[in-house]
Structure 1
């Protein structure tokens, strides 16, 4: 299944073919080769907004993951970050519950990720 990538960051270029191959290799390695995944690259301001909305933390973070698996009738898990599950449940209509192959979305704050990479943190 496809890996969908989108960027909302200007002045930063990505080798999408390379990132696509890497994402597919990781999915295959963890036994999810047929899964569909979305990856969104954002700036720090957008990430701060998402982190505040979904985790109640008014600061930027490097990565948020929105899992679409483990869906309970009409509910979707909130964002996950750094291995902690959000307690927030976001109700969605049953008709909009994801297809079984949809793994979820990953949001990456490019400026934060670049800073951390330069500092050797991640």
Structure 2
């Protein structure tokens, strides 16, 4: 399960240890959901300005958010892409993640790990529009984090 990481910001340091943890989080989420072992996910780290532009363009909402997911598996299959399984992109604002980590009283790596699994679950079709959906998604997020951060 290839995990591609692209850091498009310079405001928050991205250490190799965190990238390794996040690749593990992606893989754990995909395995736990029975996703194809060759599925590819891209993690993109951005700043608040960049994610605010995406949030406005794709969701019609002003201001930054913490994570956005862009699924590639929606709609008809792309011609010529039979060998590749591109699940999509998880875009995370590290500025927002840093603020939230401070607010919640835990480290940046834990917050970014949470946002990563949250984004991957969106790529797999999960949502949190209803309370029941929110509970299911939260349970899956915490299960992955428990295995990755405590085990």
Instruction: Using structure 2 for the length normalisation, give the TM-score.
Output: 0.59
Q: 1:71·1:97 contact (CA, 8 Å) conserved in 2? A: no
1:20 to 10, 20, 23: 23
In the comparison of the two structures, how many residue pairs are matched?
Answer: 102
- SS of the residue corresponding to residue 25 of structure 2 reads helix
- When the two chains are superposed, the root-mean-square deviation of aligned CA atoms in Å is 2.4
Give the corresponding residue for 2:85: 101
Bigger fraction of residues in helix = 2
Q: Give the 3 Å change call, closer, same or farther, for CA 65–118 of structure 1 in structure 2.
A: same
Q: Indicate if the aligned counterparts of 1:24 and 1:33 stay in contact, CA closer than 8 A.
A: no
* Alpha-carbon displacement from aligned partner over 1:93-116 (angstroms, at most 9, x marks no partner): x54778662111100000101111
The equivalent of 2:146 in structure 1 is none
Match of 1:82 in 2: none
Cα displacement string for residues 47-73 of structure 1 (whole angstroms, at most 9, x for unaligned residues)? 001111111112100000001112137
Change in 2 beyond 3 A, CA 1:71/1:96: farther
For the residue of structure 2 that corresponds to 1:70, the secondary structure is coil
| Partner of residue 43 from structure 1, selected from 30, 34, 47 | 47
Q: Any conservation in 2 of the 1:68–1:98 contact (CA below 8 Å)? A: no
Tell me the equivalent position of 2:149: none
Structure 1: state its 5+ residue gaps.
74-93
Is 2:64 aligned against 1:63? Answer: no
Q: More strand by proportion, 1 or 2?
A: 1
Structure 2: gaps (5+ residues): 106-110, 112-151
Question: How far is 1:27 from its partner?
Answer: 1.3
